[in-house]
């Protein structure tokens, strides 16, 4: 049995902890967080601590923390024999280069505290500084998901940027859509099937092929009438995205 | 049985035609399009014509055409007793005001020629210039879907703008995500679960609550490192969307 101390108690840490409850070869023996109130969920499930000096000896130290806190803690700590891991899309492997054994286990999914995620389908990107630990890491990842990818630090950084575009920025466009609906007393649920179909169709179709709408058709009359309905900030976004679509697709028609 | 002549042979017209093949009370008796090659699909299924003078008498004339073509044809034609409809999100009801009976039947979904859509779940927005025809229109819509909404011209216009944000613009962000993946030799499929989860979660959660990522966390270090990876056009989008998210959420931490 491989013992794990989990650093962090945020959305991702909580979801990882839950997924690892079912693991056979691995066990989270302690959760560390500097704020005691964040440890509430864990306190009857494993050992908890808010004090770095009380961190237990373990085989794996797993940092699921904000990027700057990972760097900060990595500098403070000095584990000799343990395997040290972080879960960040944007922190390079080299943040741990003063340790002997280190790696990254990055689940590529969006986690909200109040919505359960089926971890078995979440792609997990792994990287380690040596082949033996890469195998341990692969075993750990396979306890959590069926989709494991070996991804270098450089690729992971690019993947994280791509994820910001297809998830964080996309979600912001949903927020704008909802605001426009609210302002006009339209139930936002009318847009749900469109949102789901737009997401689903690019599993089969290349997104470039799937592009539709007034920007692609270069339908200037519709574009102008839309701009009239929008506030300044929405107009800026509408114009820039329309321009980008037209640059990609050429001014067809 | 209520007879329909369908004007147009594009993606939406084709999908509507297919959905109406199963209807009991309505029947498409003819499809008109000015380009004969676009009528290929319909020719062994119903009467077809490329000549406005050969259009058959019918109870309903259904225009599934580009917005400017709807206006153009509406001006040319002069149906006295028939019920005249269009399917456009951005053309007001008033384009038909010289007719006696007119309305709008606007399916809010994205249609690609090569991907079938389950019309039963597509929200359809309806509007008519009189109560009797509103009932016919509701019957027609219910032949196609289970989700029918009465939406005014003004609301429909706002809905169309919202749809551009949550579908056309979202799809463009998927395209950027794919480009970043291709450039870094990462399979785009790694992003599929994230894309689907981002879309699915706003059915339960308000998109404003669902927002995550470096912009919302105001993680300037990550934001800067992302910008370094992007080309000029991607940088413009990244900056504007980050700024918008920060304006909405305040510079939290």
- B28 CA to chain A: closest CA distance, Å? 26
Give the model's pLDDT for residue A113: 67
The secondary structure of A87-144 as a DSSP string is --SSS-GGGGTTSSEEEEEEE-S--BTTB---GGGS-EEEEESSHHHHHHHHHHHHHH
Mean pLDDT (chain A) is 93
Average pLDDT over residues A102-116: 84
Give the model's pLDDT for residue A253: 42
Mean pLDDT (chain B) is 93
Average pLDDT over residues B1-7: 97
Residue B183 has pLDDT above 90, yes or no: yes
> Taking CA atoms, what residue in A is nearest to B177?
A162
- Summarised one tens digit per residue, pLDDT across range A139-171 is 999 999 999 999 999 999 999 999 999 999 999
Answer for the pair A110, B197: CB distance below 8 angstroms, yes or no: yes
- Summarised one tens digit per residue, pLDDT across range B47-92 is 999 999 999 999 999 999 988 899 999 888 888 899 999 999 888 8
- CA dist B54 to A182, B7, B16, Å? 45, 12, 22
d(CA B85, CA B101): 9
- A58 CA to chain B: closest CA distance, Å? 30
Give the model's pLDDT for residue B111: 74
B171 vs A121, A210, A234: nearest CB: A210
Residue A37 has pLDDT above 50, yes or no: yes
d(CA A41, CA A46): 10
For chain B, report the end-to-end CA distance as a whole number of angstroms. 63
**Interchain contact, A171 vs B210, CB within 8 Å:** yes
A194 vs B115, B163, B206: nearest CB: B163
Residue with tokens 């630090």: A153
Residue B253 has pLDDT above 90, yes or no: no
- A102 CA to chain B: closest CA distance, Å? 21
Residue B43 has pLDDT above 60, yes or no: yes
- Pairing label, strands B148-150, B124-128: parallel
Interface predicted TM-score (ipTM) of this complex, two decimals:
0.85
Provide the percentage of residues in chain A whose pLDDT is more than 70: 98
Choose the weakest-confidence range: A32-36, A210-214, B27-31. A210-214
Residue with tokens 């039963």: B120
Contact list, B165 vs chain A (CB under 8 Å): 173-174, 176-177, 180, 234, 237-238
**Interchain contact, A167 vs B213, CB within 8 Å:** yes
Assign A76 a pLDDT band (cuts: 50, 70, 90): confident
Answer for the pair B187, A206: CB distance below 8 angstroms, yes or no: no
**Interchain contact, B164 vs A225, CB within 8 Å:** no
Please give the model's pTM, rounded to 2 decimal places: 0.84
**Interchain contact, A195 vs B222, CB within 8 Å:** no
- Summarised one tens digit per residue, pLDDT across range B113-146 is 677 778 888 999 999 999 999 999 999 999 999 9
d(CA A203, CA A197): 10
> Quick count: other Cβ atoms within 10 Å of Cβ B87?
23
**Interchain contact, A172 vs B245, CB within 8 Å:** yes
Residue B252 has pLDDT above 60, yes or no: no
- Summarised one tens digit per residue, pLDDT across range B161-179 is 999 999 999 999 999 999 9
**Interchain contact, A171 vs B115, CB within 8 Å:** no
> Quick count: other Cβ atoms within 10 Å of Cβ B71?
18
**Interchain contact, A233 vs B247, CB within 8 Å:** yes
Average pLDDT over residues B188-215: 93
């Amino acid at each position: 049995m491989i013992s794990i101390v989990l650093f962090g108690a945020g959305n991702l840490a909580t979801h990882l902890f839950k997924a690892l409850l079912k693991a056979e070869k691995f066990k989270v023996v302690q959760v560390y967080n500097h704020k005691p109130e964040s440890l509430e969920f864990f306190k009857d499930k494993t050992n908890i601590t808010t004090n770095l000096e009380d961190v237990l000896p373990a085989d794996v130290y797993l940092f699921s923390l904000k990027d700057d806190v990972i760097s900060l803690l990595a500098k403070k700590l000095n584990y000799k024999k343990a395997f040290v891991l972080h879960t960040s899309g944007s922190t390079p492997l080299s943040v741990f280069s003063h340790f002997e054994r280190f790696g990254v286990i990055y689940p590529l999914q969006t986690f909200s505290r109040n919505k359960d995620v089926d971890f078995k389908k979440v792609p997990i990107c792994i990287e380690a500084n040596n082949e033996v630990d890469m195998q341990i890491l692969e075993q750990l990842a396979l306890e959590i998901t069926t989709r494991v990818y070996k991804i270098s630090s450089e690729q992971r950084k690019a993947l994280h940027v791509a994820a910001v575009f297809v998830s964080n920025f996309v979600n912001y466009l949903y927020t704008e859509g909802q605001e426009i609906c609210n302002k006009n007393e339209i139930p936002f649920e009318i847009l749900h099937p469109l949102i789901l179909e737009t997401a689903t169709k690019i599993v089969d179709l290349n997104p470039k092929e799937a592009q539709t709408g007034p920007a692609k058709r270069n339908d200037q009359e519709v574009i102008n009438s839309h701009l009239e309905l929008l506030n300044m900030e929405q107009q800026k976004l509408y114009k820039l995205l329309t321009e980008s679509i037209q640059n990609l697709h050429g001014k067809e028609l």
